[in-house]
Amino acid sequence: MGAGLLCLLWITTASAAQTLDVLHWWTSLSERQAANTLAGALQDEGIVWRDAAIPGGAGIGAFKVLKSRVLSGRAPDVAQLIGPTLDDWGELGLLLELDDVAMDEGWSAAFFPTIAALVRVQGHTVAVPVGLHRINTLYYQPKLFVEQGLRPPRNWAEFERVAARLQRAGITPLAQSSEPWQVATLFETLLLAETGAAYYKQLLQLRRPDDWFDPRVFRALERLRSLKRWMAQPVPQRGWEEVARSFARGDAAMWIMGDWARGELLSLGLDVDREFACIAVPGTGGAHLYSVDTFAMMAGGYGKQREQETMARSLASVPLQLAYNRIKGSVPVRRDIDPAALDSCGRDSWQTFSRGAAVQAPSIVHRMATDEAMKDAIIAQIYRYFTDDQVAATEVQRRLATIMRALQNDTGVRRTPR
Ligand code: GAL
């Protein structure tokens, strides 16, 4: 083989190896900007982020596409895989072990312990965490509240008074979509508000059917139904980005949603604290309902291991953590950042999470507490209850208990040592 041909071969393999195919579900304005920030940082390392974004809030579509791509031998190099589902992929040997990177970069000390544990399967680090979202967030319109002489509600009695006043003034008190995952995201927040983090976790970790008959679960369901009267009627089914745009236009006074909504409102040009503000949802002040976004590197042949490791290193670095999370609405997964660099909502999220496991509650809908089957079954029941007023709360409790009985031993209760 001539030197020219050898050289050409080298260039082709080298440039092919410099591209990473990244599958994720970030397609809203802020999500795109946040992903571009990551892609830009990779470019500085000489790696091209080939985007394989699958639209659909909460990754409903992306997960299905990932499965079919892996099954048909077209796995991406990097995938947004989050929560306990990492166990299944890791145990099948589909994920690249990032132990050397984790060791070199001191990840186990740098990350919050819950987050370091989240990315470990059978003692190996198999994913890189990029951001910590807080789901129990209530956004409100500060100017409107001042005009109406209202204070943001700190408990449900205040919430009811504020909502009634707003409604009398002809303002829709609460933004909401009837998309199933968005309804269930509201429900898990209300569940946390009623139970507190300890019982919330007990419900999902021990999965004892009887626990789901607790009056606190009943009250959370009742609250979900009663909040409907503060929403636009009929509750429109629309993507969360659309809800964000509508809230930004002032169509509703309050909105309960994970703090990716804050990222979106910022990207839409709104100023935090002036044009929108956030507080914890009533009854959840000291608690943190979390979802951690993580990327796993798919093992496929180890041909791109160097680039995958470089990407993992870069994503977890302090400067990129700060730049990316500011846009995404989440906060860094690291304990060694200066919280003064965060805005008021972010600081509250980061500081609350820092208080440790006792205040942390894993999101059901955003894949922190169960596997896909249990998550989907819970969402379906909550959605049905929300859309059909004939379904009694006690009936839902019975169905949730049945789900626990049927799927008790599936993932979510960690099978493997972290
Ligand atoms: C969550 C995810 C966030 C955001 C949101 C809306 O599951 O953690 O990053 O994308 O869904 O799609």
Q: What is the pLDDT of residue 416?
A: 44
Question: Residue ranges per domain, the chain?
Answer: 17-134+290-355, 137-289+363-407
Confidence of residue 301 (pLDDT cuts 50, 70, 90): confident
Ligand 1 and 200: CB distance under 6 A: no
The residues, any chain, with a CB within 8 Å of residue 417's CB and separated by 6 or more, are: 122, 123
Going by alpha carbons, the residue nearest to atom 8 of ligand 1 is: 293
Q: How many CB atoms lie within 10 A of CB 376?
A: 17
Ligand 1 and 59: CB distance under 6 A: yes
Asked if residue 114 has pLDDT above 60, the reply is yes
Q: How many CB atoms lie within 10 A of CB 208?
A: 14
pLDDT in tens, 339-397: 999 999 999 999 999 999 999 999 999 999 999 999 999 999 999 999 999 999 999 99
Closest ligand 1 atom to 260 CA: 4
Residue 271 dihedral angles phi and psi, to the nearest 5° = -90, 130
Q: In the block, which residue shows the tokens 């006792």?
A: 358
Asked if residue 115 has pLDDT above 50, the reply is yes
Q: What would the two tokens of residue 46 be?
A: 């000489």
Q: Cα 244 to the chain's mean position, in Å? A: 16
- Reported as type and span, the H/E element at residue 34 is helix 29-44
3 state SS of 83: coil
Ligand 1 geometric centre to CA of 137 (Å): 14
User: Any bridge partners for residue 288, and if so which?
Assistant: 360
Query: Is the sign of the CA dihedral 268, 263, 143, 341 positive or negative?
Result: negative
Q: What would the two tokens of residue 101 be?
A: 């990177």
Distance CA(77)–CA(189), nearest Å, equals: 34
DSSP of 357-404: GGGEEE-TTTTSSS-HHHHHHHHHHHHHHHH-TTS-HHHHHHHHHHHH
DSSP of 318-340: HHHHHHHHHHHS-B-SBSSS-GG
Ligand 1 and 293: CB distance under 6 A: yes
Does domain 17-134+290-355 correspond to CATH entry 3.40.190.10?
yes
Confidence of residue 110 (pLDDT cuts 50, 70, 90): very high
Q: Is 157 exposed, middle or buried (0-12, 13-18, 19+ CB in 10 A)?
A: exposed
Q: What would the two tokens of residue 311 be?
A: 């990407």
Q: What is the pLDDT of residue 262?
A: 98
Q: What is the pLDDT of residue 410?
A: 62
pLDDT in tens, 306-344: 999 999 999 999 999 999 999 999 999 999 999 999 999
Distance CA(221)–CA(240), nearest Å, equals: 22
Cβ(252)–Cβ(244) below 8 Å: no
Asked if residue 66 has pLDDT above 50, the reply is yes
Site to substitute for ligand 1 among 118, 366, 370, most atoms within 8 A of C-beta: 366
Q: In the block, which residue shows the tokens 């999101």?
A: 363
Ligand 1 geometric centre to CA of 362 (Å): 14
Ligand 1 and 83: CB distance under 6 A: no
Asked if residue 97 has pLDDT above 70, the reply is yes
Q: Do domains 17-134+290-355 and 137-289+363-407 have the same CATH topology?
A: yes
Ligand 1 and 57: CB distance under 6 A: yes
Going by alpha carbons, the residue nearest to atom 9 of ligand 1 is: 293
Cβ(289)–Cβ(363) below 8 Å: yes
Ligand 1 geometric centre to CA of 244 (Å): 14
Q: Which of 244, 260, 275 is nearest to 327 (CA)?
A: 260
Ligand 1 and 241: CB distance under 6 A: no
Q: What is the pLDDT of residue 3?
A: 46
- pLDDT > 70: percent of the chain: 94
How far the first Cα of the chain sits from its last, in Å, is 50
Ligand 1 geometric centre to CA of 311 (Å): 20
Ligand 1 and 26: CB distance under 6 A: yes
Going by alpha carbons, the residue nearest to atom 2 of ligand 1 is: 58
Mean pLDDT taken over the chain: 93
Does domain 137-289+363-407 correspond to CATH entry 3.30.230.10?
no
Ligand 1 geometric centre to CA of 183 (Å): 14
pLDDT in tens, 212-235: 999 999 999 999 999 999 999 999
Give the β-pairing of 137-140 and 124-125. unpaired
Q: What is the pLDDT of residue 414?
A: 52
Alpha-carbon distance values, 381 to 25, 163, 183, 239, 397 (Å): 24, 27, 11, 20, 9
Site to substitute for ligand 1 among 260, 294, 295, 349, most atoms within 8 A of C-beta: 260
Ligand 1 geometric centre to CA of 329 (Å): 10
- Taking CA 70 as the corner, what is the angle to CA 44 and CA 325, rounded to the nearest 5 degrees? 40
Cβ(220)–Cβ(191) below 8 Å: yes
Q: What is the pLDDT of residue 302?
A: 79
What does pTM read for this prediction? 0.94
Q: What is the pLDDT of residue 10?
A: 42
